[in-house]
Chain A
Amino acid sequence: MSDSTAGYPGGDEVPTNGEPAETRRRVIGTPSPAEARSMLQTPPPGTPGGPPAPRRRELPADPDDPVSAKRAELIVASCFIIATLAGLGFIAAYVIFPVHTVTGTQRSNLALGLTMSLTFLALAAGVVIWVRSIMPTVELTEARKPLRSDDEDRAEFKETFDEGAEASQVVKRPLLRRTLIAATVPALVAPIILLRDLGSLPRKKLDHTVWRNGLRLLTYGANTPIRPGDFASPGGMITVVPDGFQEDFNALAKAACIIIKFAPGQLQFTGGSSPVPGKVVENWTVDNIVAYSKICTHVGCPAALYEQTTHHILCPCHQSTFDATRGAQVTFGPATRALPQLPMTVDAEGYLVARHDFTEPVGPSFWERGPSS
């Protein structure tokens, strides 16, 4: 039988009489009969009355290349032996290495991890080589079966279901039905109630900071009060916190400020005592020292990168840029509002203090803040 006759797997001949494996292989490139590529049950082609034809083979019993298969067999077997040894090593490592000390635990973990990795890796490699080099390569396709059940099955199912429903009395006894429904409702609602654990609504908490009249500004870290005469070098900048709240991080999250010293004439002032876009409220400054909230109005990062040459305050997170000479108004970046200015004055001893709290909420937008500036 020649290679061109496309014997296997389309034909009826069954490999029984020790034919060489090569003769049973279909030649690549020649079309195989369509039905041979299907795994679906097909009616046997046997003649009526005659013996039924044996089931057609879809996968050949022998590898494509016996020589390379023999070699692959050795490799696969070695992989499996390695996996066996590594698995035994895992058990041994578990027994041998003590875990009563940190270094002991580290050693144990390393040994356990290495042996287990090797076990699975060798196993997987063996299986992959087995499939690729020993099993024959045949392409198979399978037609999709219809999803819809037979009408007969469907009718039978309906019958069974109706019988069950009737026997359960759920239709006839509304008391049972309704109490069952009522029993499930609390269990379904409970998870929504548990959302309360996320905390109460912020209400007015975000509108105010701890700054109040007479509260001293302390340099952050050193916690010293500041006299305007001490902070007299134009181009100076320092982070300040409210006196008494140096360690209160919940308070500092909103109240942290930076103060910047300018040369006379650099700040763009407005009179009065309410903020004007693009202007610094003069009443709230002392000796050309201005205080701004350190909390970026975009998403609340600490905006404290100050360039004394350009008077820009930068936020490191998203590069929002504020002009410190013009009321910290936004000149670049995703922030939409100026950094709020802290009203400042000096107390009887000459130290910088707050005049009152910020006149607007500091930091990023929040739902209750509303759309206004």
Chain B
Amino acid sequence: MRAITARRRHPAAGYVVVLLGLLLAGLCYAAVTGIGTASAASQRVAGQPLIAEGKAIFLQTCASCHGDFAQGVPNAGPPLIGVGAAAVDFQVSTGRMPAKEPVAQQPNKPVTFTPHRIHALAAYIASLGGGPAVPSAAQVNPAGANAGLGQQLFVASCAQCHNFVGAGGALTQGKYAPALTKSTPRQIFEAMLTGPEAMPVFNNTTITPQQKRDIIAYIVRTRTEPNPGGFSLGRVGPVTEGLVAFLGLLLFMVLAALWITAKHRKAHE
């Protein structure tokens, strides 16, 4: 105790006290609300309390654009009845929702919701009526899937917008197909299933869950392939470096030609 009181005038003492206070408050809050245990339980059962919690979150953060009953608001947000838990999980877990501002296409941003809050929100939206559910971990596991077939399917249905290795590409009027380089397998699965924004829907009877796993395996596989070139333009290769070297050498040769043919001053002028 003496050691502590002796250092109470230390310059850092104030910060340490505030930090300890915050830590204590956080622990108390966690103990009272029980986030840790509730989230583990809620993964299994989407019971009424979870839906109620999701509704509360919805009214607080989503209703201004999507309407108090998720019925949609013209020129603000689409109706969310029937979009399913997978759509909610994709939109919120990639940070696209809640949206900051109305733009041509919502960009992915740092996620502001905890997994538990996303789960509660998804449960509430799913309770409004149907829609695809969030896939299980086994459904999206790329291990053991056929990446070769996945490539064929990716080239046939995805590459036209997302580029042949998932580097993304431009669409019309500010819309774009985002890069898939950082998407999690679950997000890729959900995007195919729900067709966020301008993306077409690839439902489970058109592209089966197994084929979706194959596609995910291909996308994940391309990330570990060697990627030549520093600025490779979506794995085209070291083309940009080649262009810079070509232009640089061209400039050097032009300057050399100018120097060789230039009149030089005579020594006695």
Residues of A that sit less than 8 Å from B by CB? 22, 25, 27-28, 64-65, 68, 128, 132, 137, 219-222, 226, 229-239, 260-261, 302, 304-310, 312, 314, 316, 319, 321, 332
Contacts and interface: CB of A to CB of B under 8 A. Distances in A.
Contacts of A64: 266-268
Interface stretch (B2-10, B198-206, B243-251): B198-206
A58 B264 CA distance: 19
A60 B149 CA distance: 79
Main secondary structure of the interface of A (DSSP, over half): loop
A222 B202 contact: no
B69 to A, nearest CB: 21
Interface string B225-269: 000000000000000000000000000000000001001101111
Given A222-B211, A238-B206, A28 B266 contact: yes
Contact of B206 (A128, A236, A309): A236
B149 A321 contact: no
B202 A238 contact: yes
B153 interface: yes
B160 interface: yes
Given A137-B264, A305-B161, A235 B195 contact: yes
Interface in B149-189: 149, 152-153, 155-157, 160-161, 169, 171-172, 175, 177
B201 A234 contact: yes
Contacts, number: 98
A235 B201 contact: yes
28 contacts: A28-B266, A28-B268, A64-B266, A64-B268, A68-B267, A132-B260, A137-B266, A219-B207, A220-B156, A222-B211, A230-B203, A231-B205, A233-B195, A236-B195, A236-B200, A236-B206, A237-B201, A261-B201, A305-B161, A305-B171, A305-B177, A306-B200, A307-B172, A307-B175, A309-B198, A310-B198, A314-B172, A316-B160
Contacts of A316: 160, 169
B197 interface: yes
B268 A221 contact: no
A232 B203 contact: yes
Contacts of A219: 156, 206-207
A295 to B, nearest CB: 13
Contacts of A27: 268
Contacts of A230: 203, 205-206
A236 B201 contact: yes
B207 A222 contact: yes
A236 B160 contact: no
Contacts of B206: 219, 226, 230-231, 233, 236, 238
5 nearest A-B pairs in the assembled complex, by CB-CB distance:
A65-B267, A230-B205, A237-B200, A221-B156, A307-B198
Contacts of B267: 64-65, 68
A314 B171 contact: yes
Contacts of A308: 195, 198-201
Main secondary structure of the interface of B (DSSP, over half): loop
A58 B177 CA distance: 72
A239 B260 contact: no
A287 B147 CA distance: 33
Q: Name the residue in B160, B208, B269 with the highest tally of chain A Cβ atoms < 10 Å from its Cβ.
A: B160
Interface of B: 149, 152-153, 155-157, 160-161, 169, 171-172, 175, 177, 195, 197-203, 205-208, 211, 260, 263-264, 266-269
Contacts of B207: 219, 222, 238
Q: Name the residue in B161, B172, B263 with the highest tally of chain A Cβ atoms < 10 Å from its Cβ.
A: B172
A221 B264 contact: no
A236 B202 contact: yes
Given A65-B268, A233-B201, A319-B172, 12 more contacts: A25-B268, A219-B156, A220-B157, A222-B208, A236-B200, A237-B200, A237-B201, A238-B202, A309-B197, A309-B198, A314-B172, A316-B169
A312 B152 CA distance: 24
A222 B153 contact: yes
Contacts of A304: 160
A308 B268 CA distance: 78
Contacts of B202: 236, 238
A256 to B, nearest CB: 10
Q: Name the residue in B152, B155, B169, B266 with the highest tally of chain A Cβ atoms < 10 Å from its Cβ.
A: B266
A307 to B, nearest CB: 4
A310 B104 CA distance: 12
Nearest to B155: A221
A307 B174 CA distance: 12
A108 to B, nearest CB: 23
B197 A137 contact: no
